[in-house]
Chain A
């Protein structure tokens, strides 16, 4: 109760002179007014907490740098800083709208991380490795067509030119390559899914 008798101006002066406890008194004396003021503008506890903190960081810096000169008007000055920071907050948010995920609509239902996690990446590598070994087992002509089509991304026209067979033959070899692969996969119960 003793602190209530000391005016803000004296506390500010004491704080500037190095008395840290004066700041504690000032904060506790005005915290509710300032906090409520900020909350009445932003209606969000977390944002209020941030703005409150930034307000006092500014107050502390200004006082310590000796730039404060509004004797006797401590609270209106702090309120003005809080008000400016609230405006800054709204300006920043208008420029970069934020999605809060609290409503029924979840942003993550339409946005996803396409990257595989470590386990899925391992499985994918394993599947691709198994498939390569199966392809190696195919007859040479079928294997060539399949590799050129799937791994080298060549068209059937290019494959036919490269291998010296007609497009239809290349298509047929591709078809048999896939049929044979499926047979081997079914026969050995190989699971090639991620």
Chain B
């Protein structure tokens, strides 16, 4: 049987975002509040 000499494609097993990124997003979500005022919406980022 013929040998295959082509390289296996590199497998990236850990294709997931960093924990810091997820933490940032969760904290961002907690900090962001939307204020409704007379049909207007304001975004407020409270740290």
Contact = CB atoms under 8 A, between A and B. Distances in A.
Contact of A36 (B15, B24, B30, B41): B15
A175 to B, nearest CB: 68
Nearest to A21: B26
Interface residues of A, number: 21
Given A60-B29, A64-B32, A27 B22 contact: yes
Contacts of B15: 32, 35-36, 39
Interface residues of B, number: 18
DSSP class of B's interface residues: helix, strand, loop or mixed? mixed
B24 A53 contact: yes
B3 interface: no
A56 B25 contact: yes
Contacts of A48: 17
A36 B12 CA distance: 9
Given A20-B29, A60-B25, 13 more contacts: A23-B25, A24-B22, A24-B26, A27-B25, A28-B22, A35-B17, A36-B15, A39-B12, A39-B15, A53-B24, A60-B29, A64-B33, A64-B43
